């Protein structure tokens, strides 16, 4: 019978004893100083008495960037970021998200046959203008709390302008630029 199993067990036990002895010697040599208070605790006086909601970062207006926006770059960006959930073809089917053909200037939650979130349906009387699209594309969850769209957003304003310029072209009568 082979003694390989015994050799493995002996190696494991020897390593465990060596680590234990090393720990004991380390405790004897090093005398850590215990802190009187936690280094991570924040003083109670430093917290404001009334907790105000943090101010949302304001987005720069998209209108000035739209004049120089590139709809072809927006098309490429849309095919990379949006096409997995949205369709851009007139009369095309809805996907995970609604068909976005003709979205610029159209009211929220207006695509027939799509099950919108309550947050989106609550804005049905408001149009998707350039600034509303800018805010939503930048960060959907901040622009429309309660939306079902699980997308982090596009932080680059020039890319958002390109994307909006592309969405503007998806109409027989594009909305005029501001």
Q: Render pLDDT for 34-43 as a digit per residue (tens, 0 to 9).
A: 878 777 766 6
What mean pLDDT do residues 112-123 have? 90
Mean pLDDT over 84-96 rounds to 91
Which comes out higher in pLDDT, residue 40 or 135?
Answer: 135
CB 99 within 8 A of CB 112: no
Asked if the model's pLDDT at residue 73 lies above 90, the reply is: yes
φ/ψ of 71, rounded to 5, equals -65, -30
Least confident piece of the model among 3-12, 51-60, 141-150? 51-60
For the chain, percent of residues with pLDDT exceeding 70 = 90
- Which two tokens mark 43? 């003083």
* ∠ Cα 60 88 65 (to 5°): 20
The pLDDT of residue 50 is 54
**What pLDDT sits at residue 130?**
92
Strand partners, 107: 127
Q: Say if residue 57's pLDDT is above 80.
A: no
pLDDT score, position 150: 87
Q: Which tops the pLDDT comparison, 119 or 54?
A: 119
pLDDT score recorded for residue 53: 53
Cα first-last separation, the chain = 88
Q: Give me the chain's average pLDDT, please.
A: 87
């Amino acid at each position: 019978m082979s003694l390989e199993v015994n050799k493995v067990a002996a190696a494991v036990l020897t390593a465990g004893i060596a680590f234990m002895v090393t720990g004991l010697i380390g405790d004897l040599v090093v005398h850590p100083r215990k802190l009187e208070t936690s280094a991570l605790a924040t003083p109670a006086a430093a917290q404001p008495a009334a907790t105000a909601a943090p101010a949302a970062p304001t987005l720069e207006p998209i209108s000035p960037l739209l004049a120089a926006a590139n709809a072809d770059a927006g098309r490429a960006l849309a095919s990379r970021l949006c096409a997995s959930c949205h369709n851009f073809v007139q009369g095309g089917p809805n996907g995970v998200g609604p068909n976005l053909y003709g979205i610029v200037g159209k009211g929220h939650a207006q695509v027939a046959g799509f099950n919108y979130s309550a947050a989106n349906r609550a804005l049905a009387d408001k149009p998707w203008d350039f600034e509303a699209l800018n805010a939503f594309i930048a960060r959907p969850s901040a622009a429309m709390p309660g939306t079902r769209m699980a997308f982090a957003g596009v932080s680059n304003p020039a890319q958002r302008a390109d994307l909006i310029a592309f969405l503007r072209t998806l109409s027989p009568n594009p909305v005029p630029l501001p």
